[in-house]
Structure 1
């Protein structure tokens, strides 16, 4: 009996040891699996987080770069606009300067240098063609006043014309009455390229009838001045 009991005891201990080994093996496997899961999750979190941070940083860098590029483009565009404005301003300034220069040149062209007449050569005769003439003055030293006109000439009696302005200048030259103090009562035709006009000072104390002839290329030349007693509107 004792032998049977010992034999049964041995088998029971052997089975118990086998069950313990199996249990330990399973526990070890489970522990190992848990450890592997922990490692996997840790690696995933660590490297995954780094990837997300890297992506976020990369996105931030790209955003900053895009913003920088936009600023650069805007600065370039602004600089180009400023240069364009400067060019337009310079162009406008040059145009204005050229206009002023042209106007100045035109004024210079319109200014006619008159050769003063020698009053000592004047021939003064009492009376004249009518009873209204106090005296008649003729001076061989009178010269054509000059002209800005070119080409074939026909007398023009338009008050806005260059011809009209030059005829007034010729009458002022012959009489000594400044145009700023001149009243024109009549200015008209006296033959082909010949004119006659009646002028006074604004106070009408001096009254003249002036005869002028056109000289080609040289302008209007006074030929005779009559000092009148009264104004004649013709």
Structure 2
């Protein structure tokens, strides 16, 4: 045997203080949970503040929700469309005209940052609630004199819409119909 040989003695689990403390806490927790299985922790809450005041309301939440739903359903009109790619088509009488700064005579400008394109995007945001940073424009093109069709999607949800807009002289762009599509059309 060499003089420099070091003999180490292995320590048992009972000789490790951190392990002992951890195991003891775990055991205590398990015993507590076993003895108090259905105890409601809300009893241990502390009320802070003064006396509780009861608020009186004229309408219940369900009344307000049903009134809101009724007013929304009155303004939305379903439209029948023969295209099998259309999930639903509708128009809403509450949609506002997007005010314009353009003068007459009006010619549609399809350039990316033109006033027309900015106002068209604003109209699309109004009816789809897609934020500008999530809006993917697939097609914006004419659909007749002073009217266009825009095919867009939400890059996060991949929901596709076809938006129909009409130019109203001296007023701006008005959405006339929204079609929610199953998928992007094969052709525009």
Per-residue deviation, residues 90-131 of structure 1 (Å, max 9, x unmatched): xxxxxxxxxxxxxxxxxxxxxxxxxxxx74311135x62300
Query: Which of 100, 104, 114 lines up with 1:161 in the alignment?
Result: 114
Which is helix-richer, 1 or 2?
Answer: 1
Equivalent position SS for 2:144:
coil
Q: Which residue of 1 aligns with 2:184?
A: 231
Higher RCO, 1 or 2 (CA under 8 Å, sep at least 6)? 2
Per-residue deviation, residues 170-227 of structure 1 (Å, max 9, x unmatched): 1111222122210001000011110001000013431100000001111100000000
Q: Which residue of 1 aligns with 2:96?
A: 143
Which is strand-richer, 1 or 2?
Answer: 2
Equivalent position SS for 2:141:
strand
Per-residue deviation, residues 136-156 of structure 1 (Å, max 9, x unmatched): 111122221101112211111
What root-mean-square deviation, in Å, do the aligned CA atoms of Structure 1 and Structure 2 show? 1.7
User: Conserved in 2, the CA contact under 8 Å of 1:128 and 1:134?
Assistant: no
Q: TM-score, normalised by structure 2?
A: 0.57
In the alignment, the residues of structure 1 paired with residue 72 and residue 129 of structure 2 have an alpha-carbon distance, to the nearest angstrom, of 11
Q: Which residue of 2 aligns with 1:131?
A: 84
Number of positions where the alignment pairs a residue of Structure 1 with one of Structure 2: 116
1:199 aligns with 2:152: yes
In the alignment, the residues of structure 1 paired with residue 157 and residue 108 of structure 2 have an alpha-carbon distance, to the nearest angstrom, of 27
Q: Which residue of 2 aligns with 1:43?
A: none
Give the structure with higher Rg (CA): 1
Q: TM-score, normalised by structure 1?
A: 0.47
